[in-house]
Amino acid sequence: MIADEIRRLAAEQGAVILAHNYERPEVQDVADFLGDSLELAIRAKETTADVIVFCGVDFMAETAKILNPGRKVILPVQDATCPLAEALTPEMVREARASHPGAAVVLYVNSTAECKAEADITCTSANAVDVVRSLAEDVVLFGPDANLAHFVQQHLPEKQIVPLPPEGHCPLHVRFSLADVEAGHARGDTVVCHPECNPDVQAASDLVASTGGMVREAPHHAAWTVLTEEAMTYRLSCLYPEAAFHPVEGAECEDMKKIRLEDVLHALRTGEYEVQVEATIAARARHAIERMIALPR
């Protein structure tokens, strides 16, 4: 079986397979570690493996490479990207900084390495509020997800959160609507949405949580409607088989679905596609990522 061959090759090569919670179920099943981007960034930093096969999208694999400059990091398909990350350029960050002197720059990990190099600190959806709270600055330029910026602003009214760009969004998460929340409630479910969802969906949901937050909260609920990538319900169902997790039909991130088992096998057989990040960019981005990881959890 292909999964057995993947595990055999990974063991032979001393490779670790990291997979995001949004990956296909069969890819989740062959991974050594599953998690959100924060958990995977920490795993990538702690691993002693020579090779990291990263099943996710490009900014996540770049983060693993930035934290492990001496290790080989492989992204099994080349075009698994993130439209949200591409909405922000380093020039936009530099211009915003110049027009807001004294403001801090916090970038969601869903951003390119070049943008991270311009940030004071990075964050994930799991720790965005804690990261911003930890800063001395009252004004925070926050990008590229404007809905996550809104979520942080709701929790920290004492800060001024300036979204950068003003309307950056995840094309999948903004598709969830109040009708999805109502459908979940009509079924008698607790409705949980991701903070990348629109503000009206956040306000109507029972809980707003990152995928890591969903994993931690799920044991307290018998039935959930889950407003995020549908593969998350596979992860939750494996962890808590006695509970019911309902995705919204068709809630797929096409980039997260690009990696198939065949690609993971190809990656282990050929070493393709190795992730490279230019050394000066990597050093500056590493500073922002490590500052996030060093915060108390």
Residue labelled with tokens 């503000």: 199
Beta carbons of 59 and 20 less than 8 angstroms apart: no
Count of residues that bind ligand CIZ according to CB under 6 A:
11
Angle at 60 between CA 279 and CA 274, to 5 degrees: 55
Q: Minimum Å distance from CB 70 to ligand CIZ?
A: 24
Q: Which residue is nearest to ligand CIZ (CB)?
A: 36
Instruction: Check binding of 36 to ligand CIZ (CB under 6 A).
Output: yes
Instruction: Check binding of 205 to ligand CIZ (CB under 6 A).
Output: no
> Segment 104-143, which members bind ligand CIZ (CB under 6 A)?
110, 124-125
Nearer to ligand CIZ, 169 or 194 (CB): 194
Nearer to ligand CIZ, 18 or 164 (CB): 18
Q: Is 259 exposed, middle or buried (0-12, 13-18, 19+ CB in 10 A)?
A: buried
Q: Which residue in 37, 127, 190, 233 binds ligand CIZ (CB under 6 A)?
A: 37
Q: Which residue in 198, 202, 210, 225 binds ligand CIZ (CB under 6 A)?
A: 210
Q: Minimum Å distance from CB 1 to ligand CIZ?
A: 29
Q: Which residue in 211, 261, 267, 275 binds ligand CIZ (CB under 6 A)?
A: 211
Q: Minimum Å distance from CB 208 to ligand CIZ?
A: 10
CB count in 10 Å sphere of residue 249 = 8
- 3 state SS for 51-119: EEEEECCHHHHHHHHHHCCCCEEECCCCCCCCHHHHCCCHHHHHHHHHHCCCCEEEEECCCCHHHHCCC
Residues that bind ligand CIZ (CB under 6 A): 20-21, 36-37, 110, 124-125, 194, 210-212
